[in-house]
Amino acid sequence: MTRTALVTGGSRGIGAAISIALKGAGYKVAANYAGNDEAAQKFKAETGIPVYKWSVAEYDACADGIKKVEADLGPIDVLVNNAGITRDAPFHKMTPQQWKEVIDTNLSGVFNMTHPLWNGMRERKFGRVITISSINGQKGQFAQANYSASKAGDLGFTKALAQEGARAGITVNAVCPGYIATDMVMAVPEKVRESIIAQIPVGRLGEADEIARCVVFLASDGAGFITGSTISANGGQFFV
């Protein structure tokens, strides 16, 4: 049976690696994105994976987008909540807008995407909900009160929803990447990046593919006994 997967923020960075890995594992894949049309079209041309534009921060847009993907590819079996943003600032300088944008995307976005899919997964007695949280949701990070709160919230969501999905054949898990060499991390000044690498016991940034492999495993039928779990993929930087 060919299963269908939807990856939010699936056209760039970690999400692109996840989309490609799931396709390679035999899934029909749809990749959502927010606004970078150029990157999305390039990704589509290179991979053959269809792309769909809407913001995960808007509930109605998610419900409509999901309907469109399901009309094109069939019922979604695997949801990967990968879309995420940062708006870093030390707390005394953080604006309500910076707080809201991050919570709306990284935390409410996970609700907005999972909720419209939930009943269908329950009816079909199968589902995989995999959310990309972060090491900084586990340990906190200077200038990321908004981001750390959103990513810690994703872990609470995962543990609560796992309990509701279990009897319906739906697993709900999270992956907490450490620092991965994507646009998000390469955008920080080189000096800061070097100081980050100095804190990673394996001595390098992670690769997006290394996160994608965690997702492919959690998505598989064979991972049905794993739910409410978090895979930490951080090069030994932080142990829970």
Ligand X SMILES: NC(=O)c1ccc[n+]([C@@H]2O[C@H](COP(=O)([O-])OP(=O)(O)OC[C@H]3O[C@@H](n4cnc5c(N)ncnc54)[C@H](OP(=O)(O)O)[C@@H]3O)[C@@H](O)[C@H]2O)c1
Enzyme catalytic residues: 147
Output the smallest distance, CB 1 to ligand X, in A: 28
> Hey, what amino acid is at 25?
A
Output the smallest distance, CB 123 to ligand X, in A: 26
Task: Report the SS3 class of residue 72.
Answer: helix
Closest to ligand X by CB, 4 or 11: 11
Contact 126, 79 (CB under 8 A): no
Task: Report the SS3 class of residue 68.
Answer: helix
Strand partners, 80: 7, 130
CA distance 57 to 45: 26
Biggest alpha carbon distance in the chain?
53
Assess 184 for contact with ligand X (CB under 6 A): yes
CA distance 80 to 92: 33
Task: Report how many residues bind ligand X under the rule CB under 6 A.
Answer: 30
Site residues for ligand X, 14-53, by CB under 6 A, read 14-15, 32-36, 39
Binding segment for ligand X (CB under 6 A), chosen from 72-80, 121-129, 164-172, 174-182, is: 174-182
Task: Tell me the per-residue interface mask from 132 to 171 with ligand X, x by CB under 6 A, - otherwise.
Answer: x-x-------------------------------------
- Which H or E run contains 79? strand 78-81
Assess 213 for contact with ligand X (CB under 6 A): no
CA distance 79 to 161: 14
Assess 82 for contact with ligand X (CB under 6 A): yes
Strands 51-53 and 28-33: parallel
Output the smallest distance, CB 32 to ligand X, in A: 6
Assess 173 for contact with ligand X (CB under 6 A): no
Closest to ligand X by CB, 168 or 196: 196
Among 49, 51, 56, 170, binds ligand X (CB under 6 A): 56
Contact 220, 193 (CB under 8 A): no
Q: What residues make contact with ligand X under the rule CB under 6 A?
A: 8-9, 11-15, 32-36, 39, 55-57, 82-85, 105, 132, 134, 177, 179-180, 182-185
